[in-house]
Amino acid sequence: AELKTPLPHAAGSLADTYGDFQRLVQPYIAGNIHPRFMGWVQGGGNPVGVLAEMLAATLNANLGGRDHAPIEVEREVIRWSAEMLGFPTTTTGVLVTGTSVANLIALLVARTQAMGAGVRKEGLAGHKLVAYTSPATHNCVLRAMDMAGLGTQALRLIPLDEHHKISLVELAAAVRRDREAGLQPFLVIGTAGTVDTGAVDDLTGIARFCQQESLWFHVDAAFGALAMLSPAQRPLLAGIEAADSVAFDFHKWAQVPYDAGCVLVRDGVKHAAAFATHVNYLHRETRGLAAGHPWPTDYGPDLSRGFRALKVWMTFKVYGADKLGQIVAQCCDLAQRLAARVEREPELELLSAVTLNVVCFRFTASSQELDRLNTDIAIDLQESGIAVPSTTKVDGKQAIRAAIVNHRTTAEDIDILLDAVIAAGRRLDGYTSTGNRLNPATADEPQ
């Protein structure tokens, strides 16, 4: 309520405004800089990124295009990204808000390849395109189908196999069926690190299939991509280097402050074919500020763009890719520790195998309806401020979900989370910590 004021017409004092920030904003953040924030998949940020954001704001660079050093920094970040993923030197890319937009851009490139450049003029009328992914796909992939005008119905959700990976047998059958029905399969989207369980699709298998069937192979590697920097996890992503495009975030596992997502396209000519246009007021020259063709605006929907690349560039230069890889490994080790303790605790149940950094489990020692109870446990922990897990469904069961992304998280944080889950489960179930049932009327009181 205090934030709601009329438009401030008169000048105010910077000191008072900073005071308002400290009083009204800073204490009430979601908390993803905290080591026990494990909800959704959110990065922890880093101090070099803080400095980079201030430097970027000072330069106030506009990276839509033109010939200046900030654009070269972004190109360097794209080259590093291509190197990280094993992509060739033909790769182009662009930094965007996040993987949601990066997935949309890749989908539009694939669409233009499938329908020809004419689609950009003529539109999609009567299109027969069909895309394929698994039900574990992120919702932004459905939104991308919607926003690209293809419709979410044109996205086939191929069932998962027993390892929570897209079933290649079902994928092949669906593509065959759609071709027989006169439709035009054009795109398969693999996931490297699903939001629900952190599972990684068989990227090599999908790549081979897409090659045989002449389909575009895109990988949503929003957080998973950074596992390429960890020798222990890298083999899980085998096949990503064969993708036509990859979308991922620096603001998750690379610890870069929000927002910083990235799309890479293996064949830069195809990338530009989906976005480049010519208008007189953005005409390119070979000298002067209008040089430096192609421009980032040729690779995505934005014209004016901020200097996101600086915080990525500085984070990699100061900490080094090896250190970021060690953080990935550390998060995965902590996830294994969490899973092992869940399996030791008789009141808890592990709901899926741990591939990377996501652990899904639930409190089961209760006579209550478990889906509701586990939702309430997660909310209680969030409100308590002790730790932040989120929730999801795994095989139809409501799971408490911890995604360990933050470089500050330690083994002690894992133990505090689990102790708090067990305590909340017992309390919400009406038991004291010694296992005695409380009077339901007093069950809500603090112990």
- Residues forming contacts to ligand PLP in the complex (CB under 6 A) are 41, 98-100, 138, 140, 191, 193, 195, 220, 222-223, 249, 261
Is 214:244 a contact under the CB 8 Å cutoff?
Answer: no
| Minimal distance, residue 40 CB to ligand PLP, in Å | 7
Q: Would you give the DSSP letter of residue 264?
A: E
State which residue, 216 or 431, has the beta carbon closest to ligand PLP. Answer: 216
Ranked by CB distance to ligand PLP, the top (closest) residue is 98
Please list the residues that pair with 157 across neighbouring strands: 133
Backbone angles phi, psi at 219, to 5 degrees: -120, 125
State which residue, 366 or 409, has the beta carbon closest to ligand PLP. Answer: 409
| Minimal distance, residue 227 CB to ligand PLP, in Å | 12
| Minimal distance, residue 34 CB to ligand PLP, in Å | 19
State which residue, 111 or 252, has the beta carbon closest to ligand PLP. Answer: 252
State which residue, 41 or 56, has the beta carbon closest to ligand PLP. Answer: 41
Q: How large is the greatest C-alpha to C-alpha distance in the chain, in angstroms? A: 81
Q: Which residue has the tokens 């408490």?
A: 400
| Minimal distance, residue 99 CB to ligand PLP, in Å | 3
State which residue, 136 or 321, has the beta carbon closest to ligand PLP. Answer: 136
Question: Which candidate, 302, 272, 263, places its Cα nearest to that of 65?
Answer: 302
Tokens coding 436: 């005695």
Backbone angles phi, psi at 192, to 5 degrees: -110, 85
State which residue, 246 or 423, has the beta carbon closest to ligand PLP. Answer: 246
| Minimal distance, residue 102 CB to ligand PLP, in Å | 7
| Minimal distance, residue 358 CB to ligand PLP, in Å | 9
Question: Which candidate, 375, 404, 355, places its Cα nearest to that of 36?
Answer: 404
Q: Where are the beta strands (DSSP E) in 209-368?
A: 216-220, 245-249, 261-265, 348-350, 358-363
| Minimal distance, residue 137 CB to ligand PLP, in Å | 8
Region of residue 255 (left: phi > 0; alpha: psi -120 to 50; beta: else): left
Distance CA 242, CA 103 (A): 17
Please list the residues that pair with 431 across neighbouring strands: 437
State which residue, 256 or 423, has the beta carbon closest to ligand PLP. Answer: 256
State which residue, 253 or 361, has the beta carbon closest to ligand PLP. Answer: 253
| Minimal distance, residue 43 CB to ligand PLP, in Å | 9
- The DSSP code sequence of 327-392 is HHHHHHHHHHHHHHHHHH-TTEEE-S--SSSEEEEEE---SS-HHHHHHHHHHHHHHHTS-B-EEE
